[in-house]
Homo-oligomer: A and B are copies of this chain.
Amino acid sequence: MQEQTFSITRLERERLNGHKGAVLWFTGLSGAGKSTIADELEIALHRTGKRTYTLDGDNFRSGLCRDLGFTPEGRQENIRRLAEVAKLMMDAGLIVMTAFISPFRRDRDFARQLVGPENFFEIYISTPLEVCEHRDVKGLYRKAREGILPNMTGVGSVYEKPDRPSVSIDASKCSKAEAVELILMTIRELIPAGQDRAV
């Protein structure tokens, strides 16, 4: 079968954008601060002209994965699709952030291999369970303790910590701005020297 090969490749898009595409895979407990830090990072990247996108439960589970439940199989398929879409968006030249609990090492390793280890940054938001549960911004931990959410990560279901994350950030011990600085240091290879100032 003849396959169509497209003329405009990731490399051309990266040249046009002035930075590399990549996947910044946030992982951590519910309430750890993944989406909040991803948002702050995206503001900083956008301000300096970087092309970005953030995939999270709101724009992902409600659309592409609306057919999936929260069974182990449903969660695994959710992460598989997330990795596939992140890969496509990276191929489109974007710095893609994903903000999902993604509690299982196996799923994150799958994503890393699919995307390519050289393009994959595992950003572990390591805020302790006690802090996340105390905040309980979505009221999920309370429901979990009441037995309404039996598979809640950190309560009824395990969170497997990353072995060697690209960066590890305890959001209870630093400001949002400090977290963003740490991540920008971690991904500086994506951005040519001298192009990190506001445009």
Interface residues of A (CB under 8 A from B): 1-4, 6-8, 12-13, 16-17, 35-36, 39, 42-43, 46, 49, 51-56, 58-60, 63-64, 67, 77, 81, 84-85, 87-89, 91-94, 99, 137-139
> Given the complex, which residues of B lie within 8 Å of A81, measured CB to CB?
64, 81
Most central of A1, A12, A67, A92 by chain B CB within 10 Å: A92
> Given the complex, which residues of B lie within 8 Å of A85, measured CB to CB?
64, 85, 88
User: Does B52 contact A8, Cβ atoms closer than 8 Å?
Assistant: yes
For the complex formed by this chain, how many copies does it contain in all? 2
In the bound complex, how far is the Cα of B16 from the Cα of A56, in angstroms? 22
In the bound complex, how far is the Cα of B4 from the Cα of A154, in angstroms? 21
> Given the complex, which residues of B lie within 8 Å of A89, measured CB to CB?
88-89, 92
CB distance from A143 to the nearest CB of B (A): 10
Q: Can you list 15 A-B pairs, Cβ within 8 angstroms, ordered by A? A: A1-B138, A2-B138, A4-B56, A7-B39, A8-B39, A8-B42, A12-B46, A13-B52, A16-B46, A17-B51, A64-B85, A67-B77, A85-B85, A85-B88, A89-B92
